Structure 1
């Protein structure tokens, strides 16, 4: 569980993918082909490089837009959802007059207009931040620092650690307070430690970036970039790696709230927590040595350095909502330097995305009314039950698992619940105070709403109906604490789910996605949670040892993949997603086989038989291009392997793939039996 929270927020340990008839999108009338043959590069052998074969021409014909760092199926559909569908909804509301205060329509309209009101933004400069800067400037003691840090975290500004609220991992029916590490501007400790030239360049650019932002804001701190990099480097050394954060047992340390005072007696925990409204009897500490170490670091750091760092965190948090010079420099570093994105999106498109970021659920309610027919819920429900049945059959056939553990696996599988499309009940957002011409204040108001909403959960039963994604999101997730899979309406569209496609293409697409999310319940993290969503061992020692042996073999396999010179996939970081991909495609394939029993074998389409089309469907949903900077960032920070390796990575482990494409034993996409990994 990676808990890096700048404010009191939900910390669900959920694992996402990333990845003349009417289509699923209701109002759209374009018939989308099941598979676009023009994507194929027939000069590449499918048995040597399946991604190059199935997507070669697509990649050549779809270069990364200047406003993106990655470009693939997810991005294309996300752009359609936001910059076409949501844009139409928002613009129609913006044209309306005299919208009633507090209604979702008024909030959406006025937030959108406040983001577009660049004249007011330029006129105000950084004055909307002055109340928070004044608090920082007034700090005279270490106790003052603790108080202001808590105040800033109320509105989403990072500190050295943060509180969050989620289901108690060992009592998943009740909410608990979590404490975890936070505060690294570069996102992950490896950026402060690696000594390769690319990462050094990022650190050097970071120093320049901070210096420039301080000058633009009129701050007078001396050498702020070097000061902040030095401080964060010390903090990074104390933090757990993103691989260590994956261990739900070691990061679950329930203790009395008073233990924070024992670990770090010099830090004013009472003031820090009281200012945030947090007064639990117990909490779950992510890493006790970090609490002790970072508190000592804070205590030994000159107060002026801490104040410089707090100014930076405040400025950086709001930079994209400030005047153009600050906004543009923020984009230059975090988008161009860190990810290779060349140009910002036009202000109109950014305003749509910003509005979606703040008012996502109210927009989602309007989105599903227009673009998600109820019939899709039934279709997806049937698919899910199909996958559940096949998973049970796969469990029964395992040779490395004992009958007693299989019994518990079936219990967990039977307890899986799912959500499709959109929430059954919608939250009331009317207390968020959104006004024209006050962009920063609107952001703060939304943060206060989220903060209060989360505070209200502490010590109360978990609301199992709550969603962790908006309906328009092109993604899906598994939440082990609820033992549930969730599929927003946004992903239930082509190329993932296409009503015009043959079964083979859809099974390789949406069914593999469903299987992927199911498998998360049995990956290295999910397998440690029982049928009720509690962190509890349900394995025999021998079975767990067998499972970890298979997982470690798969880790080593991905460790060996170099995506750029000196940058390999981190097999331990990506094992959950890689396991889910392997399980998802396996489950989908055998669900398709099961669906064809007793039926005539489907005829080839476009020269490809149903087995081949299944794998075409798999390749189609993950196709994508990426900048080198984005790839470097991904392999250091992202639990998902790059798109190319999500396509090609699991296929050599599947005899079914080799059979479908007639791959010989010497083919590059074929492994000997001794090297293959079959987990589920």
Structure 2
């Protein structure tokens, strides 16, 4: 599945209200909105700020000034308030489930919560696997061992996935892409700035610590060799901008051709060990795959084994003694993201359950916390925003009439999934034991992998979801022509049935528009109404769209969160188009919802003012510096401040807030980017 999400990784911020307060309002049956008098928390505004100078500060400045980032978070914002609430609710479900010995989710949670048993077991649970790696005597068995690692959830030099064939979306196909890095991106190895050099030094020390913790000698020299190996891999990797181009990453080939093009690694043995013999496959980054295969052939076996050892301990760090987990967190949590404190055990346990038995937990979650009234109201909102998108398509001046007809067909083909799946995953084949955390985690990885591989040769699972109902997120799936909104995001401040419609349209309405527009962004637009990668625009349509989206790239390239460090407009383009189009479509839908009546003025604020404030409110986020720096390298979403500032492209925002031409956000009409 190729999906593009609204950006859960981007939102980590908190409200001035507590999560408990928000939950109480939602559950009490009160007709009052959860926030403020109409759905927006005016107490979080900085009224001394000028909207045209800094709209984010104007809408959110006081909230930011008085809201600390919790010690266990890299950033904090509205998504986190709902994320914490979702965890608390899930905890109640799992605590109750633990009382029934036959309850699978209760048993899995019990195994996680028994930290004493984990400490007592030490490294014994993972030792048989580490021994297999240590006992490998030659490269002849390497491919088979890497396949086993892949099934067990241990990352290797290649990433394997089973998904829709982009050019034949009715069938599943094997997909292979680049991997093999322990740092988040190739830039961490190749960027010569002082900041990146310091991270590399810390990473090399982390590798040495991990080697020592599993009882291996010569930690320093082995860490140096691993660092050198990964640096060579990084040199081969495609950039994120290259890898997000769906045309460039669609490279269909056969196993025989792959082995001829990428000698040095026994792909036939690798796939055989997985239990498949693919007739054909998609190779995302052919030069990187070929380069990594050659690198493996020329790298000493000991280094390749050490890479597997370290990746294995990293993959299972949360299921091993704290000396492993704390070291893993010290690097990935604190150094990379700036987070001072590891999540409490029960919170990590919730996250484990979401990954291992997500829909089994989700079934209980939606039964308690997602009323049908919310689903019905959301369905109506979605249809209103889809209709608004259709009207905007009809009015476009840059798109040809032929493309408009196809665009309308695609819009009519949309499936909107709201709240939870119509068909739940069956976990009956997953064996869970209340006293075996490591075994549960291992079996869950194997179960998920076998489920994935088992799709080959079967009809597309069109009922399947890519997120659990507990996720605070949303996504678009190009191949299925669908937009998906899990239950947990359909709460204040994103959606509140008691809030002013202007705020709802500015918040969840813009999220809906965002996901709809992904199907028409610089990549999603390449898929037709059947979900097939099939360019349906004329060359003139494509050229006109590129000219408009290129202006958006330039706009975001100018944003500079740190001196000399800019937002990457090309990398974040899809999400920036989503925000721009999402707001435009949602604003149209809001205006249509008023009929021919003027919007009421509430607390001295017009409907359009409340709409844009509703958008800004969901972007109340504070970042730790390290976390923000990491996101600028790895995240396809722009930082929250700049997502909020998308309003500067809207004539309606200028009419609502009257920014001065001398102010920072002001754009002359000719410079305001309008696509959809």
Q: State TM-score, norm by structure 1.
A: 0.95
How many Å apart are 1:383 and its aligned residue? 0.9
Could you tell me which of 484, 498, 501 is aligned with 2:499?
501
Secondary structure, in 3 states, of the residue corresponding to 2:90? helix
**What's the counterpart of residue 13 of structure 1?**
3
How many Å apart are 1:183 and its aligned residue? 1.6
- 1:142 maps onto 2:139 in alignment: yes
CA shift in 2, pair 1:255/1:50, >3 Å: same
How many Å apart are 1:109 and its aligned residue? 1.3
Secondary structure, in 3 states, of the residue corresponding to 1:573? coil
Please show how residues 537-556 of structure 1 align to structure 2 within 5 Å.
537-556=535-554
Write the distance in 2 (CA, Å) between the matches of 1:523 and 1:438.
46
Could you tell me which of 599, 604, 610 is aligned with 2:601?
604
Listed one character per residue, the Cα deviations across residues 136-183 of structure 1 (whole Å, up to 9, x for unaligned) are: 112122221111111111111111112210111001111111011112
CA shift in 2, pair 1:457/1:602, >3 Å: same
66-75 or 112-121, which moves further after superposition?
Answer: 112-121
**What's the counterpart of residue 460 of structure 2?**
462
**What's the counterpart of residue 187 of structure 1?**
184
Could you tell me which of 91, 95, 104 is aligned with 1:91?
95
Write the distance in 1 (CA, Å) between the matches of 2:514 and 2:437.
39
Given that residues 24 and 371 in structure 1 are in contact (C-alpha distance below 8 angstroms), is that contact kept between their aligned partners in structure 2? no
**What's the counterpart of residue 204 of structure 2?**
207
Over the residues paired in the alignment, what is the CA RMSD in angstroms? 1.7
Write the distance in 2 (CA, Å) between the matches of 1:229 and 1:127.
27
**What's the counterpart of residue 656 of structure 1?**
652
Write the distance in 2 (CA, Å) between the matches of 1:326 and 1:514.
41
- 1:517 maps onto 2:507 in alignment: no
Secondary structure, in 3 states, of the residue corresponding to 1:485? strand
Write the distance in 2 (CA, Å) between the matches of 1:171 and 1:358.
30
Listed one character per residue, the Cα deviations across residues 353-374 of structure 1 (whole Å, up to 9, x for unaligned) are: 2222322111110010001111
291-300 or 116-125, which moves further after superposition?
Answer: 116-125
Please show how residues 435-514 of structure 1 align to structure 2 within 5 Å.
435-514=433-512
Write the distance in 2 (CA, Å) between the matches of 1:243 and 1:56.
33
Secondary structure, in 3 states, of the residue corresponding to 1:275? helix
Listed one character per residue, the Cα deviations across residues 409-444 of structure 1 (whole Å, up to 9, x for unaligned) are: 111111111100101111110111111221111111
Secondary structure, in 3 states, of the residue corresponding to 1:428? coil
**What's the counterpart of residue 626 of structure 2?**
629
Write the distance in 1 (CA, Å) between the matches of 2:642 and 2:595.
32
**What's the counterpart of residue 616 of structure 1?**
613
- 1:71 maps onto 2:76 in alignment: yes
Secondary structure, in 3 states, of the residue corresponding to 2:541? helix
Runs (5+) with no aligned partner, structure 2: 12-20
Given that residues 161 and 182 in structure 1 are in contact (C-alpha distance below 8 angstroms), is that contact kept between their aligned partners in structure 2? yes
How many Å apart are 1:21 and its aligned residue? 12
CA shift in 2, pair 1:377/1:24, >3 Å: farther
Please show how residues 207-226 of structure 1 align to structure 2 within 5 Å.
207-223=204-220, 224-226=222-224
Given that residues 4 and 518 in structure 2 are in contact (C-alpha distance below 8 angstroms), is that contact kept between their aligned partners in structure 1? no
Write the distance in 2 (CA, Å) between the matches of 1:353 and 1:463.
25
**What's the counterpart of residue 380 of structure 1?**
378
Secondary structure, in 3 states, of the residue corresponding to 1:71? strand
Write the distance in 2 (CA, Å) between the matches of 1:597 and 1:13.
35
Secondary structure, in 3 states, of the residue corresponding to 2:126? helix
Listed one character per residue, the Cα deviations across residues 210-245 of structure 1 (whole Å, up to 9, x for unaligned) are: 111221221224423222111111001111111111
**What's the counterpart of residue 16 of structure 2?**
none
- 1:40 maps onto 2:30 in alignment: no
Given that residues 49 and 57 in structure 2 are in contact (C-alpha distance below 8 angstroms), is that contact kept between their aligned partners in structure 1? yes
Given that residues 529 and 535 in structure 1 are in contact (C-alpha distance below 8 angstroms), is that contact kept between their aligned partners in structure 2? yes
**What's the counterpart of residue 5 of structure 1?**
none
How many Å apart are 1:399 and its aligned residue? 1.3
Given that residues 154 and 448 in structure 1 are in contact (C-alpha distance below 8 angstroms), is that contact kept between their aligned partners in structure 2? yes
Write the distance in 2 (CA, Å) between the matches of 1:122 and 1:63.
33
Write the distance in 2 (CA, Å) between the matches of 1:266 and 1:511.
51
Could you tell me which of 18, 37, 56 is aligned with 1:51?
56
Given that residues 113 and 345 in structure 2 are in contact (C-alpha distance below 8 angstroms), is that contact kept between their aligned partners in structure 1? yes
**What's the counterpart of residue 679 of structure 1?**
675
**What's the counterpart of residue 158 of structure 1?**
155
Q: State TM-score, norm by structure 2.
A: 0.95
Could you tell me which of 345, 348, 354 is aligned with 1:347?
345
**What's the counterpart of residue 7 of structure 1?**
none
- 1:670 maps onto 2:672 in alignment: no
Write the distance in 2 (CA, Å) between the matches of 1:21 and 1:312.
42
Write the distance in 2 (CA, Å) between the matches of 1:429 and 1:521.
32
How many Å apart are 1:123 and its aligned residue? 1.6
CA shift in 2, pair 1:266/1:356, >3 Å: closer
How many Å apart are 1:316 and its aligned residue? 1.1
Could you tell me which of 637, 641, 646 is aligned with 1:644?
641
- Number of aligned residue pairs: 660
Listed one character per residue, the Cα deviations across residues 60-86 of structure 1 (whole Å, up to 9, x for unaligned) are: 12111111011011111111111x111
How many Å apart are 1:190 and its aligned residue? 0.7
**What's the counterpart of residue 3 of structure 1?**
none
- 1:569 maps onto 2:571 in alignment: no
CA shift in 2, pair 1:142/1:21, >3 Å: closer
Given that residues 86 and 488 in structure 2 are in contact (C-alpha distance below 8 angstroms), is that contact kept between their aligned partners in structure 1? yes
Write the distance in 1 (CA, Å) between the matches of 2:554 and 2:605.
34
Write the distance in 2 (CA, Å) between the matches of 1:602 and 1:415.
32
Write the distance in 1 (CA, Å) between the matches of 2:181 and 2:496.
41
Given that residues 24 and 376 in structure 1 are in contact (C-alpha distance below 8 angstroms), is that contact kept between their aligned partners in structure 2? no
CA shift in 2, pair 1:333/1:493, >3 Å: same
Given that residues 164 and 479 in structure 2 are in contact (C-alpha distance below 8 angstroms), is that contact kept between their aligned partners in structure 1? yes
CA shift in 2, pair 1:512/1:125, >3 Å: same
**What's the counterpart of residue 308 of structure 1?**
306
Write the distance in 2 (CA, Å) between the matches of 1:221 and 1:294.
26
Listed one character per residue, the Cα deviations across residues 83-136 of structure 1 (whole Å, up to 9, x for unaligned) are: x11111111112x14x33xxxxx2211211111212211121111111211111
Given that residues 114 and 437 in structure 1 are in contact (C-alpha distance below 8 angstroms), is that contact kept between their aligned partners in structure 2? yes
CA shift in 2, pair 1:21/1:249, >3 Å: closer
Write the distance in 2 (CA, Å) between the matches of 1:16 and 1:280.
33
Write the distance in 2 (CA, Å) between the matches of 1:565 and 1:200.
17
Write the distance in 1 (CA, Å) between the matches of 2:633 and 2:471.
24
CA shift in 2, pair 1:444/1:332, >3 Å: same
How many Å apart are 1:14 and its aligned residue? 3.7
Secondary structure, in 3 states, of the residue corresponding to 2:76? strand
Given that residues 158 and 183 in structure 1 are in contact (C-alpha distance below 8 angstroms), is that contact kept between their aligned partners in structure 2? yes
Secondary structure, in 3 states, of the residue corresponding to 1:562? coil
Write the distance in 1 (CA, Å) between the matches of 2:636 and 2:675.
19
